[in-house]
Amino acid sequence: MTLSKFAARVYQLTSEVPRGKVTTYGAIASKMGKPGASRAVGAALKSNPTPIVVPCHRVVRTDGGLAGYGGPAGIGKKAKLLREEGVAVRRGKVDMEKFLFTWR
C-alpha cells in the first residue's frame, strides 16, 4: 500500500501522541499547516493500515468527544483503549484540560 504524503504525515504526527494523552483532528491539521483539513485528517485515520501502531484511538474531536473509530467495535473500543492507557472517558468525552497533548 502506497501512502500519500498527507496520510504519511498524519500517521507520523498521530504516532507522536503519547500513551495517556489525546489530540484532535484539528490540532493535527494545524500542525501540518492545513488548519481547515480536520476532516481530511479523519479520513486518513479511517484508512489507517496499522491501528495501535499508529494510535488513531488517541485522536478525538475538539470538544473531547469520541468521534468514529474504524476498528472492530467502533467507539466502544476506542473508549476501552483510551481507558487502558489511563485516559478517563466520561459520557463519551475526554477531559481535554487534563489529557490534551500539544506539540511544542
Domains and CATH numbers, the chain: 5-94 (1.10.10.10)
What is the maximum alpha-carbon separation in the chain?
Answer: 38
Instruction: Give the position of cell 500519500.
Output: 4
Report the pLDDT value the prediction gives residue 67, as an integer from 0 to 100. Answer: 82
Q: Cβ(57)–Cβ(15) under 8 Å?
A: no
Beta bridge partners of 59: 23
- What does each of the 104 residues of the chain score in pLDDT, given as a tens digit? 678 999 999 999 999 999 999 999 999 999 999 999 999 999 999 999 888 899 999 999 999 999 877 766 788 999 999 999 999 999 999 999 999 999 98
H helix runs in 58-103, sequence order:
74-84, 96-99
Supply φ then ψ for residue 18, to 5 degrees.
-75, 155
Report the pLDDT value the prediction gives residue 72, as an integer from 0 to 100. Answer: 64
pTM, two decimal places: 0.93
Report the pLDDT value the prediction gives residue 104, as an integer from 0 to 100. Answer: 81
Report the pLDDT value the prediction gives residue 1, as an integer from 0 to 100. Answer: 64
Report the pLDDT value the prediction gives residue 3, as an integer from 0 to 100. Answer: 85
Report the pLDDT value the prediction gives residue 52, as an integer from 0 to 100. Answer: 82
Query: Among all residues, which ones are annotated catalytic?
Result: 56
